[in-house]
RNA sequence: GGGAGCGUAGCUCAGUUGGCAGAGCACCACGCUGUGGCCGUGGCGGUCGCGGGUUCAAGUCCCGUCGCUCCUCCCA
């Protein structure tokens, strides 16, 4: 019986995992630089965490969330995002009682029931940060600076390597868009920060009513989906890509015109900090995010090189979520990004980058006695820090040498002749230099003896 | 959710109006009996995604289904 993977769930094979490991390492390093500590929360939560926290009417919860009963009938969800879980953990473990800003980051699998396509799986991976406990506009700016810094260290653009022709990333250059033919850059990575403020809990009903009033008067020009949104979630209309809806959205009331004095000042302060940081940002009055918990600042970091699906990560403030989930009133800000999208961009960038042999040494045994001796030798070498492997496929000497040539920097040949003399032959596989060494001494101090076949210049 | 294209060897793909299932790469053996990269010869490898239907005959035509990809949508 052949069982295949579930739709939208894919394997990441050893060929690809080094890329993911690099991604994860860069992300962890960047987060650590900004003072964030890792939190690991469960993949499974009670349904109501997301239906209440993220919002019943959001697309993510309403249409895309995996929901199932456990054996006792408890309704559970595979997490569609992590912010709600992190906040639950923050409240559950009383982190607010420590009276300090909690800076938490996570990295891991999320689940959304979507139609799979390149860079979008049903099990996908997100990284993100949550800074819980401060309303300081400088913290909003710091989150954006962190996002920007992370992309800078990942998206080092090499003009000699063309972005892979994947459709998603081969959109035609738009008018006014810069091309990549003006040499290496150290500061401009084609990044653009889109920014808006959607106000606090008090501002929202006022703005929502203003939007409803505006769109209701022109309901005939809205797409069917947006006619529904008019009642359930009028903010989402601003996000619609239908030309008719977009035209209306351009003239629609702006959330920034419905901010209370505190929110208006906060947004001004955030922008002032961004100016001070020198981050290129663009005010986008139609930017609203898909999840209900956002308040005040919302942002997306986009790449000018990615065409229509250009958002690398998104985030903002969620000053009401901690209280909503049973904690004290606590402001917070964070962002999340998709790993798959980064993996595609990175693999395009370093596709030609050849990695060296994975092993230090490959043992080529000839005959049964040598294989027995080899078993002992391998175990000892590994305990001395030499990465080493041997043939378990019964290959001929020639084939074993072939395998050695592509998987290791050195070969060690052990046969009847060598055993009789108490020796083993070491060979530098890039220079071809070869010499016999005494077996017990080599086993005791392999690093030194491997260097004795390094005299010839390697190409 | 709506629309389109594609599923043939481990991988990349040919396969004509329906008429014996193919190539390159990879793998294995040999040339070269104990020395890799190059070259040559041979070999292994297939429920043609799956299930029905039409037909003397289906990889090819029809219906269904699963999967992937693209557009749209949503977003990360």
Which token pair is A417? 């002749």
Let me know if A79 is exposed, middle or buried by CB neighbors in 10 A (0-12, 13-18, 19+): buried
Average pLDDT over residues A130-139: 97
What pLDDT, on the 0 to 100 scale, is given for residue A188? 56
Residue A266 domain-assigned?
A: yes
Both A306 and A444 in a single domain?
no
What pLDDT, on the 0 to 100 scale, is given for residue A455? 81
How confident is the model over A268-308, as pLDDT tens digits? 999 999 999 999 899 999 898 889 999 999 999 987 666 55
Residue A224 domain-assigned?
A: no
Which token pair is A343? 């993996």
Give the bridge partners for A281, in sequence order: A193
What pLDDT, on the 0 to 100 scale, is given for residue A280? 87
- Gap from A5 CA to B53 C1', in Å? 30
Both A47 and A142 in a single domain?
yes
Residue A161: pLDDT band with limits 50, 70, 90: very low
Residue A357: pLDDT band with limits 50, 70, 90: confident
CATH number at residue A405: 3.40.50.800
**Which residue's structure tokens are 């959109």?**
A171
Both A397 and A297 in a single domain?
no
Looking across all nucleic acid strands, the nucleotide with the smallest C1' to CA distance from residue A399 is B36
Longest CA span, chain A: 97
What gap in Å lies between CA A91 and CA A33, rounded to an integer? 25
**Which residue's structure tokens are 């290496």?**
A184
Which token pair is A329? 């009133």
Residue A34 belongs to domain spanning: 17-158+188-202+260-349
Q: For nucleotide B75, give the residue with the nearest CA to its C1'.
A: A290
Q: What 3-state DSSP class applies to A124?
A: strand
Average pLDDT over residues A127-146: 97
Both A406 and A439 in a single domain?
yes
Q: Of the ranges A15-29, A242-256, A347-361, A426-440, which one carries the lowest mean pLDDT score?
A: A347-361
Average pLDDT over residues A296-323: 85
- Gap from A31 CA to B68 C1', in Å? 35
- Gap from A231 CA to B54 C1', in Å? 53
Residue A386 domain-assigned?
A: yes
Closest CA to A81 of A272, A258, A290, A274: A290
Looking across all nucleic acid strands, the nucleotide with the smallest C1' to CA distance from residue A300 is B76
What pLDDT, on the 0 to 100 scale, is given for residue A334? 97
Both A139 and A50 in a single domain?
yes
How confident is the model over A177-194, as pLDDT tens digits? 333 333 333 345 678 899
Q: Per-residue pLDDT for A4 more than 50?
A: yes
Question: Which of A319, A349, A379 is a domain's end point?
Answer: A349
Going by their DSSP bridges, the two strands A408-414 and A359-365 should be labelled as: parallel
Which bases on strand B have an atom closer than 7 Å to a protein beta carbon?
1-2, 27-30, 32-37, 47, 66-76
Residue A172 domain-assigned?
A: no
What gap in Å lies between CA A357 and CA A452, rounded to an integer? 19
Question: Which of A304, A325, A349 is a domain's end point?
Answer: A349
Residue A273 domain-assigned?
A: yes
- Gap from A71 CA to B14 C1', in Å? 52
Of all residues in chain A, what percent carry a pLDDT higher than 70? 89
Looking across all nucleic acid strands, the nucleotide with the smallest C1' to CA distance from residue A113 is B74
Looking across all nucleic acid strands, the nucleotide with the smallest C1' to CA distance from residue A314 is B76
Average pLDDT over residues A3-32: 91
- Gap from A128 CA to B7 C1', in Å? 37
What pLDDT, on the 0 to 100 scale, is given for residue A192? 86
- Gap from A363 CA to B28 C1', in Å? 21
Domains held by chain A: number = 2
Looking across all nucleic acid strands, the nucleotide with the smallest C1' to CA distance from residue A436 is B35
Q: Per-residue pLDDT for A31 more than 60?
A: yes
Question: Which of A317, A349, A381 is a domain's end point?
Answer: A349
- Gap from A16 CA to B60 C1', in Å? 36
- Gap from A2 CA to B71 C1', in Å? 32
Both A280 and A370 in a single domain?
no
Both A276 and A136 in a single domain?
yes
Residue A400 domain-assigned?
A: yes
Both A308 and A366 in a single domain?
no
Residue A117 domain-assigned?
A: yes
Average pLDDT over residues A209-219: 90
Average pLDDT over residues A398-423: 95
Both A71 and A198 in a single domain?
yes
Looking across all nucleic acid strands, the nucleotide with the smallest C1' to CA distance from residue A458 is B37
| Per-residue burial over A255-275, b = 16 or more CB atoms within 10 Å of its CB, e = otherwise | bbebbeeebbebbeebbebbe
Q: What is the ipTM of this complex?
A: 0.88
Say if CB A343 and CB A20 are below 8 A apart: yes
Residue A162: pLDDT band with limits 50, 70, 90: very low
CATH number at residue A278: 3.30.930.10
């Amino acid at each position: 019986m052949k069982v295949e993977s579930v739709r939208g769930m894919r394997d990441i094979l050893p060929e690809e995992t080094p890329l993911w490991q690099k991604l994860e390492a860069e992300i962890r390093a960047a987060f650590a630089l900004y003072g964030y500590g890792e939190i690991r929360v469960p993949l499974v939560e009670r349904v109501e965490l997301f239906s209440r926290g993220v919002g019943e009417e959001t697309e993510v919860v309403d249409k895309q969330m995996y929901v199932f009963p456990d054996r006792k009938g408890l309704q559970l969800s595979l997490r569609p995002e992590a912010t709600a879980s992190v906040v639950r953990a923050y409240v559950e473990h009383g982190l607010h009682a420590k009276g300090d800003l909690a800076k938490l980051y996570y990295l891991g699998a999320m689940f959304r029931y979507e139609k799979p396509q390149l860079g979008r799986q049903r099990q996908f991976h997100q990284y993100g940060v949550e800074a819980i406990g401060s309303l300081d506009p400088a913290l909003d700016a710091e989150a954006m600076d962190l996002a920007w810094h992370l992309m800078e260290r990942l998206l080092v653009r090499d003009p000699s390597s063309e972005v892979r022709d994947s459709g998603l990333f081969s959109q035609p250059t738009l008018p006014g868009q810069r091309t990549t033919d003006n040499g290496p850059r150290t500061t401009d990575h084609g990044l653009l920060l889109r920014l808006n403020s959607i106000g606090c809990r008090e501002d929202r009903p006022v703005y929502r009513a203003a939007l409803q009033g505006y769109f209701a008067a022109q309901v005939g020009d809205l797409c069917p989906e947006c006619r529904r949104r008019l009642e359930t979630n009028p903010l989402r209309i601003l996000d619609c890509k239908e030309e008719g809806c977009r035209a209306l959205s351009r003239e629609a009331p702006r959330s920034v015109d419905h901010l209370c004095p505190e929110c208006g000042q906060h947004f001004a302060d955030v922008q002032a900090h961004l100016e001070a940081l020198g981050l290129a940002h663009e005010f986008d009055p139609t930017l609203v995010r898909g999840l209900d918990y956002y308040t005040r600042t919302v942002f997306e970091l986009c790449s000018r090189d990615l065409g229509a699906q250009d958002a690398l990560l998104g985030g903002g403030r969620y000053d009401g979520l901690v209280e909503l989930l049973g904690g004290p009133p606590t402001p917070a800000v964070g962002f999340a990004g998709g790993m798959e999208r980064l993996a595609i961009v990175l693999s395009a960038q370093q596709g030609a980058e050849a990695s060296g042999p994975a092993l230090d040494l490959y043992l080529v045994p000839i005959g049964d006695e040598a294989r027995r001796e080899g078993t002992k030798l391998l175990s000892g070498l590994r305990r001395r820090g030499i990465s080493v492997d041997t043939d378990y496929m019964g290959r001929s000497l020639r084939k074993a040498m072939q395998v050695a040539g592509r998987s290791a920097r050195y070969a060690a040949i052990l046969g009847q002749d060598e055993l009789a003399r108490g020796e083993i032959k070491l060979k530098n596989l890039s220079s071809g230099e070869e010499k016999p060494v005494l077996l017990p001494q080599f086993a005791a101090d392999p690093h030194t003896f491997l260097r004795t076949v390094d005299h010839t210049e390697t190409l």
